[in-house]
């Protein structure tokens, strides 16, 4: 018997919680861009967490998240 664990996608509220937990921030200039991208692509909380963990600098980590989401959106547009 296969067991499948459902892992939902990361929405805006979940992202804000992750950002607050990792960097103690509630707002950032990249938040509007990230919010728009999250509504357009499917990304797991684990993928977002992995990007946030790549840097202790909030600016760099959030730019990494925005880049990841932008690449996913571009891949959707290209039909991949």
Q: What is the pLDDT of residue 80?
A: 55
- The neighbour count for residue 68, using CB atoms within 10 Å, is 18
Reported as a single tens digit per residue, the pLDDT across 41-55 is: 999 999 999 999 999
Query: What is the domain partition of the chain in residue ranges?
Result: 43-74
Q: What is the pLDDT of residue 74?
A: 95
Q: What is the pLDDT of residue 21?
A: 96
Nearest alpha carbon to residue 28 among 53, 59, 68: 59
Tokens coding 65: 């998240």
- The neighbour count for residue 74, using CB atoms within 10 Å, is 11
φ, ψ for residue 39, nearest 5 deg: -75, -15
| Tens-digit pLDDT string for the chain (80 aa) | 666 556 689 999 999 999 999 999 999 999 999 999 999 999 999 999 999 999 999 999 999 999 999 999 999 888 75
DSSP H stretches of helix in the chain: 12-23, 31-38, 45-52, 58-77
Whole-prediction pTM value? 0.87
């Amino acid at each position: 018997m296969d067991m499948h664990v459902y892992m939902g996608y990361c929405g805006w509220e979940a992202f804000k919680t992750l950002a607050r937990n990792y960097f103690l921030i509630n707002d950032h200039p990249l938040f509007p861009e990230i919010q728009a991208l999250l509504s357009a692509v499917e990304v797991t909380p684990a993928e977002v967490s992995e990007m946030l963990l790549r840097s202790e600098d909030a600016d760099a980590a959030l730019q990494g998240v925005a880049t990841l989401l932008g690449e996913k959106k571009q891949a959707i547009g290209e039909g991949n």
